[in-house]
Chains A and B, each alone.
Chain A
Amino acid sequence: MKKNNLKGWLYLLPALLFLGAFMVYPLIDVLIYSIEEGYNSASQTFFGYGLYNYSYVLHDPYFLQAINNTFILVAITVPISTGFALLISLALNSIQKLKDFFQTVYFLPYVTNTLAVGLVFMILFKKTPYSEGLVNLLISWFGGRSVDFIDGPYWAKMFVLCFYTIWVVLPFKVLILTSALASVNQDYYKVAKLDATPRWRVFTRITLPMISPMIFYLVITGFIGAFKAYSDAVALFGTDLNGAGMNTIVGYVYDMLYGNSGGYPSYASAAALILFAIVLTITCINLMVSHDNVQY
């Protein structure tokens, strides 16, 4: 028995080594960095331990801006993208003709490169000396005033970022929800039909509860994904996100490490751990809510 145990550990060893080297060690390292005050990456020295790094980060206007941006992004994109995905999946599920075609169309963004998509969005939204951008063209057609979505007012930039994020995350959600809808046993709908159940009631009392585990899965992963947003903002606004006022928390961490103002692993670590705390809290709340609502 004991020998067997040893064998088991031996088999686990490669995975454990890998996880230890690339997951556990960095996590501990980040924690240590974050409490080393006045760390100098050139000389690898520091003054002592404390919470100053956290205090610095929390008072840094760029970080506060990043937090603000991230929360707006999360609050807008998660509900809207999940809702849209649900509507699209329901529509996809109810059509017969061209179903495969539309499914492919809706899935295309998922396999398209983020930066390439960002470029397309630039063409759509960016104002240059030579062109107004396609969207502005449309706006002026309808008699509105053109807006610079990439270098213009904050709300316009945030609109583009949210729009872009929703567009990028939608395909995966549509995929998950269409398969969830398709896996609901058709007999439930037959029973409901025999009982003359109105369509809306079928949706709220049968369809929605049946796919609720998947919806909550999407909401939770959606929250986590949106909190970790970074590449989307870079694709649209370039690498100087602080300058554009569109930085996200992960962007702030990156800038603190490698950006123009970089070289501060302690601040980056503190910011990363703050993000970790936020995501953990939100996920716990999500799980608590879903536990009360997902009934089976």
Chain B
Amino acid sequence: MKVVLKDLTKIFPSRNKKEKQGVTAVDHFNIEIPDGKLVGLLGPSGCGKSTALNLISGLETPTEGKIFFGDVDVTDLPPENRGVGLVFQNYALYPHMTVRQNIMFPLENLKGDAKLSKEQMEERVQQAADLVQIGTLMERKPAEMSGGQQQRVAIARAIVKYPDVLLLDEPLSNLDARLRLQTREEIRRIQRETGITTIFVTHDQEEAMSISDFIIVMRSGRIHQVGKPQNVYDDPVDLFVATFLGTPQINVFEGEVKDEKLFIGDAEILDVKGARNGKVWACIRPEGFIPDPKGPLVCHLNGVEVMGRDSSVVATHPADTAIIRAIVSSESEIDKALDTVSFSLKPYKVHLFDRETEERIRFDY
């Protein structure tokens, strides 16, 4: 089922009565999520991504705007009639029920034509449990299971009704690092097998990038960029998106463009054809540095961290106090005894943003 948000806005009234203006959690969302895709809603804490999810589920009512599932306007539909499955961050499994009872609970509420016989219910429950691979734990209580297993039960409970849209709120944040890797593959697999349009919320860019077909990057209630993970990473529209995506973080310098040339400090670093003159944020991805004794970017070398496959060069630039991290191939020769290290740059890994508006300034290379 395709999900379309039109001018979707949610303003929470202010608690403080003197302040008339409320908090805008979601600010004019316009987006179309194609059928059968896995979409990551990505943003820092408190940016309104969970509110957006709650609006789609119907647990919150929008202040303005419309929500469509397919061609049907569901804005005024109560949550139970929307056909959504929601997995909460803390899973919200009923602690006094077994796995089987938990998964069966939604089916037992079905009324009228949708009502199922006991055998049909058992079958659906087993089917959902097998899909998330917890078929052997059916008689356990949630407290007797690991976080990852509880997560699976929560997903099974959400999909047992065959929802048109599956919503996951921070699905991996309660899991340890190893389980997180495993579970995100699981989510990807379950989504592929069921073909349910899935939207998941996360603040972890790696998580979103790794499994999403699409990511939506948002901050303070506004969508900054939508696109395939790789495209958004390679082609950020503004400084926020550039700095939010990628580990280690992108390196940000105060730079200036003069006569189609980029200067950091007094050094001319790069030809930037087509860029207008002015002060800019010059952002360089860690993998955009090439160690080159004759390179234009001369930095003070703080150290080299060897990580096996590649090395991380930690340096500072005289024009800026911030620490630079460059990821270079472990074969590249860097003389650790020297005080300085020089780099030339891969131009497509360098992004310029206006110092004031933080909008992207494009240039040819």
List chain A positions with a Cβ less than 8 A from chain B.
185, 187-188, 190-191, 193-198, 201, 205-206, 209-210, 295-296
Contacts and interface: CB of A to CB of B under 8 A. Distances in A.
Interface stretch (B11-19, B78-86, B207-215): B78-86
Contact of A194 (B85, B90, B141, B143): B85
Contacts of A296: 95-96, 141, 143
Contacts, number: 53
Nearest to B163: A194
B90 A185 contact: yes
Given A205-B105, A209-B96, A210-B96, A195 B80 contact: yes
Q: What is the predominant secondary structure among interface residues of chain A facing chain B?
A: helix
23 contacts: A185-B92, A190-B59, A190-B92, A191-B86, A193-B59, A194-B57, A194-B58, A194-B85, A195-B106, A195-B161, A196-B81, A196-B110, A197-B105, A198-B109, A201-B109, A205-B94, A205-B105, A206-B94, A209-B96, A210-B95, A295-B96, A296-B95, A296-B141
Contacts of B111: 196
Contacts of B109: 195-198, 201
A194 B95 contact: no
A199 to B, nearest CB: 11
Nearest to B105: A195
Given A201-B109, A205-B105, A296-B141, A194 B92 contact: no
Contacts of A187: 88, 90, 92
B94 A194 contact: no
Contacts of A210: 95-96
Contacts of B59: 190, 193-194
Q: What is the predominant secondary structure among interface residues of chain B facing chain A?
A: loop
B69 to A, nearest CB: 14
A194 B79 contact: yes
Nearest to B108: A201
A205 to B, nearest CB: 7
Contacts of B80: 193-196
Contacts of A209: 94, 96
Nearest to B161: A195
Contacts of A198: 109
A190 B91 CA distance: 11
A296 B96 CA distance: 6
A193 B161 CA distance: 14
Nearest to A294: B96
Interface in B30-79: 57-59, 79
A186 to B, nearest CB: 9
CB-CB nearest 7 A-B residue pairs: A196-B80, A187-B92, A195-B106, A209-B96, A295-B96, A296-B96, A296-B95
A205 B157 CA distance: 16
A193 to B, nearest CB: 6
